[in-house]
Amino acid sequence: DGLEGDALKAAQGEAYNLLYWGSVILGLGNGTVEAFINPVVATMFKKDKTKWLNILHAGWPGGLVIGGILTILLGAQAAEDWRILIYLIAIPAVIYLVMLLKVKFPVNERVESGTSYKEMLAEFGAIGALIAGYLIFRQLGMVFGWSDNAVYGLTAVATIGYGLYCKSLGRPLLIFMCIIMIPLATTELGTDGAISGLMEEPMKEAGYNGLWVLIYTSAIMMVLRFWFAGPIVEKLGPLGLLATSAVLAIAGLYLLSTASGLTAIFVFATLYGFGKTFFWPTTLGVVSEQCPKGGALTLNAIAGIGMLAVGILGGPVIGKMTEDSIKLSVEEANSAETYKKISNDSTYFLGDYTAVDASKVGDLPEEEQATVQESIQSGKQGSLASVAIFPVFMLACYIALIFYFRGKGGYKPVEI
């Protein structure tokens, strides 16, 4: 309080550094938990991996439900004092620490079976290393400002080195699942902002806190994963569940793209929520059941590929789809000239496109600005129909896998 000039700038710089490194440390903590817990659960429940990985991953939306409710109850206090949020994070962290102090976990099934470290690396292979390596180095390049050539060079060196050591291109099924994971993660995580935006505005107009949207969608995922994953997997099998989920996601996204009114939006968002609920943990279940020799590496690598792909590949593609949809909406409701006035040329990793500039929209006359904003919102909503292409691709892949396993006598977990 009361700082000015250079003293204020110095304090802001110090605060930024604290926030930055605090976020890095928090991210490392979250990543360590994720890297440890998935293989542990797969090892503890060898005969029922998909069911229990779904139950495990019910904890993530469960945390969002609890965190969302606490944030609403705390009200302005949570927004005004950042320390409250740290305390909320610290509570489960301390509880976990106490719980884990004397806990002994079983030996990983890969280690127990006598599968060597090199054999584990061979499951992922050079192609898996290429996919993961590119995403890792691309992300690091975005943070540290590396050139494309540097990213490609580092990826090539890492891939060649990995391949020469393990002498394997990778298990085809695992590589196929890694490729599916990219649109899967984009479908599950990349659409959250757009769908929440559709639901939050009507909620606020009705006098409700917009956080209830997050709580509602997270509660759906928590309940379905915790109580229903087991019976559904038993009935449909993991691949049948994934294919059904893709169908529901496609229907939900397409219907959301044209929905109007709070009730219709909530109904179709619920349908979409049912679809995306089982994608992530069931994929981990399939990988752990079909590639047990990959141990912790394959489970964590495919999850990491999904997380990185959303920001590096999926996000920009969805952004391009959204901007294209906005362009059509503005040109239809207003004019092509209006769109030119409010847009700028932009680029992403697949080429050039045009994007709306919010400052230019703000410069429009008030009456025109209102109609343009309405067109922009309509375009954003309409873009969800284009995003449905991701679960369409996934559905085709799951159907192919179902027929592949049917040709081998049916889907059966691999035992080592």
Predicted confidence at residue 1, as pLDDT, reads 57
- For residue 265, which phi and psi values (nearest 5 degrees)? -60, -45
Could you list the mean pLDDT of each consecutive 10-residue stretch along the chain, which spans 416 residues?
74 85 89 92 95 97 92 85 85 90 91 96 98 98 96 98 98 98 95 82 79 90 97 97 98 94 90 96 98 96 96 95 96 94 93 94 92 94 96 99 97 94
Q: What was the pLDDT predicted at 84? A: 87
Q: Between the CA of residue 416 and those of 288, 368, 381, what are the distances in Å?
A: 12, 67, 48
Enumerate the domain spans of the chain. 8-106+171-407
**Helix, strand, or coil here: 31?**
helix
Q: H or E element: which one contains 352?
A: strand 351-356
Assign residue 75 a region: left if phi > 0, alpha if psi is -120 to 50, beta otherwise? left
pLDDT at 270: 94
Is residue 277 within 8 Å of residue 245, measured between CB atoms? Answer: yes
pLDDT at 193: 79
Q: Look up residue 340 and give its amino acid.
A: K
- Torsion angle of alpha carbons 103, 109, 112, 118, nearest 10°? -120
pTM score? 0.93
Which pLDDT does position 80 carry in this prediction? 83
**Nearby residues of 340 by Cβ (< 8 Å), 6 or more positions away:** none
How many of the other CB atoms lie within 10 Å of CB of 407?
8
128 — phi, psi (to 5°)?
Answer: -60, -40
